[in-house]
């Protein structure tokens, strides 16, 4: 079966939970849309996250990579269209707070997601889940890992679809942040499954021996 690498991220800043961590662990080793889900959780650490992610890609040679992260101020599921070559943020969990730093010195200004973001968004809306494409993944860790993996895939000449999806906070999280709007956890999890299904009819991959 075709492996699909699904990553979540650990809690950060004032957030005591990161729903993406629980979602990916719940979906680990499940079969969804003909894919075997391989889940990993990334640290909120500029020096380790991208490196770990690229290592996971090399280890499991996935058909596709879907990275998930929390965007606490968003009210929809937002597949990211683009990642930019900048780290500029508040502190990560290790205390790094980069200002205006390139992720890759001399690297391209940006990479487009190679996931079918429009199709994913449309599928969510058709299933009654609020979703829209986002045109900025920010300049914090999520943008960093998305840019880094797309750069690494290009360097290695690998045409593995990869991209990032930000999810809104859950109901439970909004108990502590009344300004935010929460999503039921199960709806976020369903949304991830729906998006994975949209990858089923993408071109076969070298590691897919089950299809001609
Ligand atoms: N969201 C943050 C970092 C970790 C996460 O889940 C971001 O959007 O960069």
The pLDDT confidence band at residue 174, using thresholds 50, 70 and 90, is confident
Q: Name the nearest CA neighbour of 80 among 125, 32, 118, 52.
A: 118
pLDDT at 98: 98
33 within some domain: yes
141 within some domain: yes
CATH number of residue 62's parent domain? 3.40.630.20
211 within some domain: no
The pLDDT confidence band at residue 206, using thresholds 50, 70 and 90, is very low
210 within some domain: no
* pLDDT exceeds cutoff 90 at 207: no
* pLDDT exceeds cutoff 70 at 183: yes
The two tokens of residue 150 are: 């797309």
The pLDDT confidence band at residue 179, using thresholds 50, 70 and 90, is low
Structural domains of the chain, count:
1
CA distance 182 to 72: 9
Q: What percent of the chain has pLDDT over 70?
A: 93
134 lines ligand 1 (CB under 6 A): no
103 within some domain: yes
At 163-173, the pLDDT tens digits run 999 999 998 88
At 143-154, the pLDDT tens digits run 999 999 999 999
Contact 79, 66 (CB under 8 A): no
Q: How far does residue 208's CA lie from ligand 1's centre (Å)?
A: 31
Examine the residue annotation and report whether 80 is marked as an active-site residue of this protein. yes
Instruction: Return the bridge partners of 153, or none.
Output: none
At 39-74, the pLDDT tens digits run 999 999 999 999 999 999 999 999 999 999 999 999
Q: How far does residue 204's CA lie from ligand 1's centre (Å)?
A: 31
* pLDDT exceeds cutoff 60 at 205: no
- How many whole angstroms from its chain centre is CA 26? 16
pLDDT at 178: 65
What is the number of residues in the chain?
A: 212
The pLDDT confidence band at residue 209, using thresholds 50, 70 and 90, is very low
Structural Rg of the chain based on CA atoms? 16
141 lines ligand 1 (CB under 6 A): yes
């Amino acid at each position: 079966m075709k492996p699909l690498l699904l990553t979540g991220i650990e809690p950060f800043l004032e957030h005591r939970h990161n729903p993406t961590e629980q979602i990916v662990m719940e979906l680990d080793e499940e079969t969804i849309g003909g894919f075997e889900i391989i889940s990993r959780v990334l640290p909120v650490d500029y020096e380790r996250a991208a490196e770990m992610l690229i290592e996971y890609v090399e280890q499991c040679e996935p058909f596709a990579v879907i990275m998930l992260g929390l965007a606490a101020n968003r009210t929809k599921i937002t597949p990211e269209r683009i990642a930019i070559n900048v780290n500029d943020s508040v502190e990560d969990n290790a205390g790094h707070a980069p200002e205006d730093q390139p992720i890759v010195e001399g690297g391209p200004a940006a990479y487009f997601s190679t996931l079918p973001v429009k199709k994913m968004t449309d599928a969510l809306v058709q299933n009654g889940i609020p979703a829209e494409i986002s045109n900025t993944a920010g300049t914090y860790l999520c943008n960093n890992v998305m840019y880094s993996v797309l750069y690494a895939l290009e360097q290695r000449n690998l045409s593995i679809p990869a991209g990032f999806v930000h999810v809104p906070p859950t109901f439970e999280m909004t108990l502590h942040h009344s300004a935010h709007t929460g999503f039921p956890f199960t709806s976020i999890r369903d949304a991830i499954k729906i998006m994975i299904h949209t990858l089923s009819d993408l071109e076969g991959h070298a590691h897919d021996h089950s299809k001609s």
